[in-house]
Amino acid sequence: MALSEARPAATAGSSPVVVVAAAGAAETLRRDRLAETDIEGGLALSDVPDPVPSPGEALVRVSVAGICGTDLELVKGYSGFHGTPGHEFVGVVEASADRTVLIGKRVVGEINAGCGVCELCTAGDSRHCPSRTVLGIVGRDGAHAEFLKLPSRNLFEVPGNVTEEAAVFVEPLAAAIGINERFQFAADSNVAVIGDGKLGILCARALNLMPPSKSVTMIGRNDENASRCCRGPVWPTRCGNRERGGGPVAPKRC
């Protein structure tokens, strides 16, 4: 069953959850404690208990959730995940025993939840904890439900001037910006981003915005997506395009 095909009837007291597709379309589903749950061979809408936060965790009511390519791969069996998918989200904190200042605030979250005691966690790098859970991907139910839980230290308040439709892209944008954490670019480097999907566009634009200055070429097969990487203030981006089934075309400067 496709993610946008499951539409339970609205019930009294149900709250809307907006699922934003990668292409930018939005589908509003009304749910009452319903979650999209990965099962053998696909998805089902299931009535699930509200998650109960452990010490140090917060309960978040999901407002907006994104559908990532990883979510679609999980449905096909990637990594053997079973549970509620979804890791791109914006929500409102309903409960947090150790960070009460967050209650009622709009938040996004770091999706990796470390054990808190290993060498990497104590060094501040819980994202690479060997025992970590990952929201909607590894050992932790995700954001395609009314509620989720995460360590309260993983939550970040969304500024008032940022819309939920923009804030839901924080997680993939963080992945794009993380390239600079893993590799140190020399000034005036030539960088190629292969792939013109949502993450490819975010990577190309993030690489342009972050120092040092560099020449970035995005290579893909979709003219519309190639033009998207040129929108806004990031004019230095150079977008290459490969016609489906054809040879490469010389990159064009936007």
Looking at residue 25, what is its pLDDT?
A: 33
Is 106 inside a domain boundary? yes
- Mapped onto helix, strand or coil, the DSSP state of residue 68 is coil
Residues 6+ apart with CB under 8 A from 91: 60, 61, 62, 63, 64, 106, 107, 143, 148
Residue 78 C-alpha from the chain's centroid: 17
Please check whether residue 8 lies inside any domain of the structure.
no
Q: What is the largest CA-CA distance in the chain?
A: 58
Domain boundary among the residues 170, 193, 213 is at 170
Whether 132 and 153 map to the same domain: the answer is yes
Kindly state whether residues 92 and 75 are assigned to the same domain: yes
Q: Are residues 21 and 99 in the same domain?
A: yes
Domain co-membership, 60 together with 126? yes
Q: Which of 141, 170, 199 is the last residue in one of the domains? A: 170
Q: What is the pLDDT of residue 64?
A: 95
Whether 5 maps to a domain, the answer reads no
- pLDDT number for residue 205: 85
Mean of the per-residue pLDDT values for the chain?
Answer: 77
Band (pLDDT 50/70/90 cuts) for residue 73 is confident
Residues 154 and 208 in one domain: no
**Cα distances (angstroms) measured from residue 106 to each of 66, 86, 103, 164:** 16, 18, 9, 9
Judged on CB neighbours under 10 Å (0-12, 13-18, 19+), 66 is buried
**At 46, is the pLDDT very low, low, confident or very high (cuts 50, 70, 90)?**
confident
Residues 6+ apart with CB under 8 A from 239: 196, 204, 217, 218, 220, 226, 227, 229, 230, 251, 252, 254
Q: What is the signed CA dihedral for 226, 229, 230, 231, rounded to 10 degrees?
A: 120
Domain match, 166 and 217 both: no
Residues 6+ apart with CB under 8 A from 68: 22, 87, 88, 172
Residues near 77 by beta carbon (within 8 Å), at least 6 away in sequence: none
Last residue of a domain, one of 121, 154, 170: 170
User: By residue range, what is the domain housing residue 37?
Assistant: 15-170
Using a pLDDT cut of 90, give the percent of the chain over it: 41
**Of 78, 109, 84, whose CA–CA distance to 3 is shortest?**
84
Does 115 reside within a domain?
yes
Does residue 127 share a domain with residue 86? yes
Query: Which tens digit of pLDDT belongs to each residue from 188-234?
Result: 888 888 888 888 888 888 888 888 888 888 888 777 776 766 654 34
Verify that 161 and 58 share a domain, yes or no. Answer: yes
pTM: 0.75
The answer to whether residues 110 and 202 belong to one domain is no
* 135 and 192 in a common domain: no
Number of domains in the chain: 2
Residues 119 and 20 in one domain: yes
The per-residue pLDDT for range 89-121, each reduced to its tens digit, is 999 999 999 999 999 999 999 999 999 899 999
The string of pLDDT tens digits covering residues 53-67 is 999 999 999 999 999
Residues 27, 73: contact at Cβ < 8 Å?
Answer: no
